[in-house]
Amino acid sequence: MNKKLITMLVSAALGAPLLASAQGTGVTIFGRIQTEYFSTKIDQAAGASDYRQEAIADNQDTSRWGLAITEDLGNGLSANARIEFAFRTGNGVPEAAREQWVGLSSKQWGAVQFGRINGIFKDFAGGATLDPFLGSSLQARGSGGAMYSPLSSFGVGAFVDHAIRYNSPEFGGGFTAAVLLSPSDATQAAGGTGGNVGGRGGANNYQLALKYKFGPAGDVFVGYSQDDANDAQRAAAPVNGRSADDETVWRIGGGWNFGNFRVAGQYENIENALAGNGGTTCDAGSSSGGNDAGISTVQCNTALNTNGDGDIWFLTLQYKLGKTTLVAQGGQTNADAIGTSVEREATNVTLGAIYNFSKRTRVFGGYQKVNVDGGRNVANDPDSTQAQVDAAVQPDRSTWVVGLRHDF
């Protein structure tokens, strides 16, 4: 057998980064494999049986593999690309696309990316950068009283399609900036009311953020996001007495490290929450089970009211004790009343710990409790009568989790 082929197979089997060179192009295989045992109980209305789900699964699509590609073009310029797919351990759900983009970068002027890209509110200004339990059933994203999580990723959800993103180099002694734009005529989004941003007739779908890092002590950030209603959303019948309008989000936050302690958090204000993007019905990333309906524990009443406003705050406290990180965190979602949809308040409290066997392997566990105060619309119908809202289920939720994760 060819010696080069043997070397490649051994490297892949050992989980070591695989580097291939073709006329100066480097390719690195990377990924993550995670499985957790979780037990979730969702309280039901008086007289009804509580809903309980227990499973061994990767309920948040955390497991993934991909290729990171780079080529040195000379004079400080590089070509870069990323191809990444998610998969689920435990139930064999087929692969799903994650980041898929190509771009150019330079230490002098920064980096530009084109394709399917992480939103700025996900990996630059707060969001996923703050939550140590991201990707588990203990995560803050979408679990109620924590982080706004529309499927359009103009919160801290999935990925932005048809996008261009610019990341600046450091300037002004600690500042960095990022800008993301999704052009309007995205036919994939024009045919329906959900999933993607913009659509025919939609424009100005963008995010921008500024961050200041004060050395290893931490950073502060501020950002703005606008997700225009697409044609289908604008043409739909009014909900809660209002037609769909452009959804906007302001976010501010930061983190501070001192010794073995870390405290971090963010506050975001949302206006004109759009239906169909996952942020007004069942929050994306809220233990949805993906294509496996048998493990669905999604919280459908912790999001905002359709076409309404609201605000969300999140706070995490962490303490490192050797290889163990102790975590206490939580937050609150306040959905303002609008039309027939009454005010709701969802509060999240999470306690847990992470033990790192190495830089690449960890075990984690903990408990999360979500309490919901206020009405929920029957069957997620924003035009339910007040009597229906008052009589609806109040699904408070409690979750126990223990999991294992390996990065390669």
User: Where are the chain's structural domains?
Assistant: 28-65+86-96+129-149+211-407
Determine contact, residues 193/236, Cβ cutoff 8 Å: yes
Query: Which tops the pLDDT comparison, 209 or 304?
Result: 209
CA distance 233 to 195: 12
Segment 113-135, tens digit of pLDDT: 999 999 999 999 999 999 999 98
Confidence of residue 232 (pLDDT cuts 50, 70, 90): confident
Q: What is the pLDDT of residue 51?
A: 72
Top-ranked range on mean pLDDT: pick from 139-143, 270-274, 282-286, 358-362? 358-362
Average pLDDT score over the chain = 81
Adjacent-strand bridge partners of 314: 266, 331
Q: CA dihedral in degrees (339, 341, 343, 345; nearest 10)? A: -150
Both tokens of residue 400?
A: 């126990």
**Other Cβ atoms within 10 Å of 305 Cβ, number:** 26
Query: What's the pTM?
Result: 0.85
Contact 281, 139 (CB under 8 A): no
pLDDT digit string, tens, across residues 65-108: 999 999 999 999 999 999 999 988 877 767 788 999 999 999 99
Q: What CATH number was assigned to the domain covering residues 28-65+86-96+129-149+211-407?
A: 2.40.160
- pLDDT score at 244: 87
Q: What angle do CA 45, 295, 118 make, to 5 degrees?
A: 110
Q: How many CA atoms lie within 13 Å of 28's alpha carbon, on the beta-carbon side?
A: 11
- Would the pLDDT of 288 be above 70? no
Contact 60, 137 (CB under 8 A): yes
Q: What does the pLDDT average to over 7-24?
A: 47
